[in-house]
Every structure is written in C-alpha cells, then in structure tokens.
Structure 1
C-alpha cells in the first residue's frame, strides 16, 4: 500500500522508470501545484511573497527534522558550493602547519572552495582513496593537530560509497578540526544524525533526494559555532527581524543560522515546502527504510544476472549503484528505448533509486543491463 500511495504523488512516472535522482528528482504533484499556483498569481499581479517566505521557514524546519537538527541551526542557501564558500570565508588566515583534509575525488562543490584556501596559507591534503572510498583511517592518517577542517561527502555521487560519518567525526574531534559534510546525495536518501556524528556543518541542495527544485539548499551550522560565524554578503534576510530591516542605518543580525541566509528563491521555496511535506506525511524513517529495501532489491537483481557493479561493502551502501558494463553506450540506448532514465558517471552506469521506484522496475532494469 505504501508504494501505491507514494506513486499517486508522482504521476509523471506512469510510463517511465526513473533512476536518476542523484542528478535531479522527479517533480511531485504537490510541488507542481505550488509552481502552477505561483505562476498564475504572479502573472495576475497577485503573487504574495510573504507566503513564500513563510513556506521557506517551514522548509527550513522540515530539513532540520530530516538531519536531526533544529530550525535555528539551518541557513537557506542556493547550493552546496555556496555553503562551502561561507564556511571557507570564515576560516582565518592560516599559521604555519595548518591544513585542510579532503578526498581528491570529491565533487567540485565540496573541493574547489577548499582549494582556494591555499591562498590563505592552508596546506590542502587531498587523499587518493585506496579502495571504494576514503576511510576514516585514511582521514586519520592525513589529519594532525594542525588540521582545521575535514570535508567529506556523506555519499559519493560517482559510485554511491557512504562514508562512516561517526568515525570521521571522531577523527575531526581528535584533531580539533571543523567537520564539513556534503549531504547532497544523502539527505532524504539515507539516515543522517548531525549530532550523533559530531558534524559541524552539513550542506545539501534541495533538488535531489529531498524532492525539491533547483535553487533551494540548506546549510546546517552547529549551534555552538553560530555566535562567532559571520555571513558573506548579508542582506535583509540575515537580520534578526527581516521584515523590519529593509533599510539602514542599523544592522542587527539574527542570532540563529538565518544570519547566513541568502535572499530566498520564492517559487522554489513554495515547491520545496510542498515536497518536503511528503516526508512528514509518510514518516522519514519509513521512507528511508523503503530506500534501503529498494537498493538491496536492485543489487540482488543485478547479482542474480551475473552483473558486476562497484564492490561496496554493506556498511557503505547507499541508494546509488554504479554498474560496470562493456558497452555503456549500448546500455544507455536500450534504456532510452525502454523509457529508463539513468546517468553515466566515471565510465559506469549510475542507478539511483528512491522511494518512488517500484520493485518490478528494478528487476526490469537489471534485465536490460544483462541482456541486449
């Protein structure tokens, strides 16, 4: 019954097998309705921006629930790179021996902002993964008492490797380093607990597993850091009372993470609020459990057909499966003919399941990969 109830919210999937959520999710009916209503009101001169602002606040709170935080620890930003840029901008000029540790195969949004810190004197220690992904032990070897930040993706966008955030968090704590997590492929897909993992900062865009659209993203900042954390390019949204702070001369910044907000993208905020409500409607735990079940179903279907996929241990599995094939182009052509949507990453077929997928769809995809 759960699958049927979920599918009613995604009518666009009736004739499509969609396994590309790691790039962008399929728009849900509530988000589409929010956009349509917004466009109608906008073109009639009746758009209410204050309603959109309130929906942004609701979305802030819903995201906080998903990662185990509070709304006051969440800033609304447009992207992970913007979030990382804010954190990087708050790092002071390095003294001799200070470093940043990051995997060399990180997605650019969680890599380029840290590389720029070389200009501020930091040594950037880029780790080449020895196996399926960079382990906590490898981070521990690279980090020392001079390490000021460790950055990692909770889930790799290339092969789906899920990092052991608890263990890496302990490495960061032992080094006295900030711990930054790119959760773009994890938030809404796998369980996250920023408090339990000792995360200082966590960022995610809204247009992947969170079911939102491009233009909305979130940055978690551990409450203990907020007082000393400064916004980059603050505007009226960064104020303690935004609606009373359109003009100078005074600047009274918010005591919460909203001091780091950028101006809200109103249409995406309306859609994000409508989409995130699906997590409340069905329960985040139940939806994440379904994700785990679907991921296992796909891996089992591939294994049953003798198909090779990226060998990731059970402790590091996610909703992304990376499949090695002899002729990726031919497989993608079969997918197009069968209305299957997936991606190519690092020379492999990348399949990203989400709770709106059906078990029989995964069996069909495994068959298409194995049999021309």
Structure 2
C-alpha cells in the first residue's frame, strides 16, 4: 500500500467540521466542496449555455460510470445509475424471472427496510421470503447455509448491517451462493466508500448503493452493479429512449434494448447528481480506499478504547467492524435518550439505532474530535 496521505489536508473540503462533531456518515454524510463545485459547474453550464454543450454532459456521465465501476471492482458496462439503494434493489426484485414457489433468503430481523420490502412485494408472484437467522446483529455464512433450500433463488444481504455495524463476510457467502447455484444480491450502502469493495472477488451478482452516506455524495444519486453474465436475466421494469441501442435516433422507431446495464436507464439523466457522484468518487479514489478504510478503523479503535474505559458497552467487535461503532453509556439503555439529547445540544451528529448510540466517522475526522465526544459522554455520566 502506498504511503498514507495527509488526512488533515482534506478537512478544508468539509466545512461542516467548523460547526459540528460529525460522526453520522452511516446516516447522512456532509458532502465536500468538490461535490458542490461539480454540481454548480453543470448548473452554470445549463444557465449560461442551455443545451449547447450537452455532449460534454454525456461524456461526464460515462466518466462517472467508469469511476463507479472502479470503486466496486466492476466494468463500466455493468454499472447503471439509480436514484437510491431501494431503487436499485427494486429493479432487480421486479426484473427477475420468478416462478411460483421461489424463495428469497433475507435476514429481515436486522436488515434495513430497503432490503426487505422489495422482496416482500413479490408475494403476489408466488415468491416467499425465507428468514436468515441473525445473531448479535449480524449474518454469518453458517446462518445463510442453514437458510438455503432447493427453492432458494436469491440471497440478499447488507454488506454491513445498518443498526449494529456488523460487517458481513461477503467473500464466504458469495462462494457459498456460487456452490449452491443461488444469486447473490448486496445492499452496499454501508460499505461503498467506507471499505474496499470487490464484487468479482466476492462473487456478487447485484449490488446497489446510494451516494449520500460513505461515498460523501448527495441524496438521490447512486449506482447499481449487475454482473455481465446475469444481465440478460433481468428485464427492465421501465424502458424509454435511453434504454435502446439507437437512442439518439428520434425519427425512426427501433426497439432493441441495450445489451449492458444502461438498459435500466430509461430517460434523461440527473446530470447534477451524476456530476456530484463523479466528484465524490474522484475524492475517495484520490485518497485510496485502503487508506480510507485504515483511517476509519484507527478512529474506531481510538473511540472504542476510550469509551470502554468509561464503562460503556461497545460493539461490534473489531473483527466484525466496518465504519460504525455503537455503544451504551455506563448507565445503560435507560440513559440513551437523555445522552442523545445532550450530545445533540453540544453539536454532535450521530444516530440512535435499535436503542444504541451509533457513531460513524470518516477519513477526514480526527482522533481529537473523538476525544471531545468521549469527554462529553464522561461529563454526562458524571452529572
């Protein structure tokens, strides 16, 4: 791995640090100056020139598609732009050729609703959801293996569970699904931009992720990966002029779907969002995902050690950790609501999930900022 970058040099990209202790990247992240400038670039172009430089917009879209492919280890032909994670998962759920009696294995007790409702919505097509038993807030390969039956067509899991922060062993589960002849679908919103992701290494068929969390982008813009070998099996739910091979010919009808993932893009692009996504991904790739992940892990170790010294109950354990740390104050669950209010009053951004405080720093955060969080927890507990 190349030498570690100067993380503090990037803090000027995130003026939110002047206002808050921001540890909520697993919820909604602040974006960077680069992203805002990229959005303004397209808006100014539209304002001053109308559609005159539209070819440049299209070129930027393809450049962004390439960056999205790089960050998940795919090829550009396997990437389509989506509005959000649920949009991408819904395209897969509604587009596959289900048969009555098919099963989808999902850990509904711990998954975010975006990775549950699209599969439940298939009931009227005779598809049932089979529960994967989750333990300690996470899903193990053994639990997935126990849930598989001859009727299982697809396993859908989050790469990292939103509430607990438990990281899923995607490599092991991908290999398991491959041996069983089962499709593997991943909600990647809690990992893309936080830890290195390699869809090929993990044998993933589908991965969807919005950019407003760890990618440091904006809400309403995300990516969907569809593996090349299963692309023909997924029917676009919506089609339009952009879905076709002769997309710029508006005078002659020629309905032939594009052979790659762009067949899911039915109409005009959200160019402001695409410019934003491109700038966000460029920043992460510039820092390097290995460096980003190592920095986040170091920050979490720093916070974990100090919170436990106060008597806090913390999780998940380091071997199951990605970007989030959850904790209970020394007073236990009964103090969570009061502590959350106290931290909010002191301009700390975080989340409460399943009765625990969840903190999720990013690479530009500093250990000293986490020390200030710990000092606030200590001050609250000492009242």
Pairwise same-fold verdict (TM > 0.5)? yes
Work out the CA distance in 2 between the residues paired with 1:11 and 1:237.
Answer: 38
- Alpha-carbon distance in 2 for matches of 1:131, 1:342: 21
Give distance in 1, aligned partners of 2:252 and 2:356: 54
Of residues 304, 312, 316 in structure 2, which corresponds to 1:307? 312
> Which runs of structure 2 are paired with 1:309-328 in the superposition (5 Å)?
309-310=314-315, 312-325=316-329, 326-328=334-336
Counterpart-to-counterpart distance in 2, 1:329 and 1:118: 38
Distance of 1:56 and 1:331 partners within structure 2: 44
323, 338, 346: which one aligns with 1:330 = 338
**Considering only aligned residues, what root-mean-square deviation do their CA atoms show, in Å?**
1.9
Tell me the number of residue pairs that the alignment of Structure 1 and Structure 2 aligns: 369
Seen in structure 2, the aligned counterparts of structure 1 residues 67 and 205 have a Cα distance that, compared at 3 Å, is same
Q: Is 1:120–2:128 an aligned residue pair?
A: no
Measure the CA separation in 1 of the matches of 2:244 and 2:299: 43
Q: Map 1:14-53 to 2 at 5 A.
A: 14-44=18-48, 46=50, 48-53=53-58
Q: Which residue of 1 aligns with 2:375?
A: 367
User: Which structure 2 residue ranges, 5 or more long, are not aligned?
Assistant: none
1:87 to 92, 110, 116: 92
Deviation, structure 1 residue 138: 0.9
Alignment equivalent of 1:103, drawn from 101, 107, 127: 107
Which shifted more, 263-272 or 72-81?
Answer: 263-272
| Per-residue deviation, residues 83-142 of structure 1 (Å, max 9, x unmatched) | 11111123224244x311000121111110101122111221123423231211111101
Whole-Å Cα distance in 2 between the matches of residues 262 and 323 of structure 1? 44
Q: Is the 8 A contact 1:31 1:272 kept in 2?
A: yes
Gaps of 5+ in 1: none
1:301 Cα shift?
Answer: 2.2
Paired residues of 1:305 and 1:367 also in contact (CA < 8 A): no
Whether 1:219 aligns to 2:221 is no
Instruction: Give secondary structure in 1 for the equivalent of 2:291.
Output: helix
* Structure 1 pair 173–14 and aligned structure 2 pair: CA distance change class (3 A): same
**Residue 346 (structure 2) pairs with residue 344 (structure 1):** no
User: Equivalents in 2 of 1:318, 1:358: separation in Å?
Assistant: 17
Q: For residues 345 and 240 of structure 1, do their structure 2 counterparts lie closer, same or farther at Cα, with a shift above 3 Å needed?
A: same
Does the 8 A contact of 1:215 with 1:265 survive in 2? no
* Distance in 2, Cα, partners of 1:253 & 1:224: 16
* SS of the residue 2:313 aligns to: coil
Per the alignment, in what secondary structure is the counterpart of residue 309 of structure 1? strand
Secondary structure at the aligned position of 1:371 is classed as helix
Q: Are 2:366 and 1:354 equivalent residues in the alignment?
A: no
1:45 shift after superposition: 5.6
CA deviation after TM superposition for structure 1 residue 76, in Å? 0.8
**Given the superposition, is the C-alpha separation of residues 247 and 152 from structure 1 closer, same or farther in structure 2, using an over 3 Å criterion?**
farther
**In 1: Cα distance, 2:119 partner to 2:251 partner:** 34
State the match for 1:188 in structure 2: 193
8 Å contact 2:195–2:290 — kept in the other structure?
no
The normalised TM-score by structure 2 is: 0.90
Q: By how many angstroms is 1:241 displaced?
A: 4.7
1:8 paired residue among 5, 8, 12 = 12
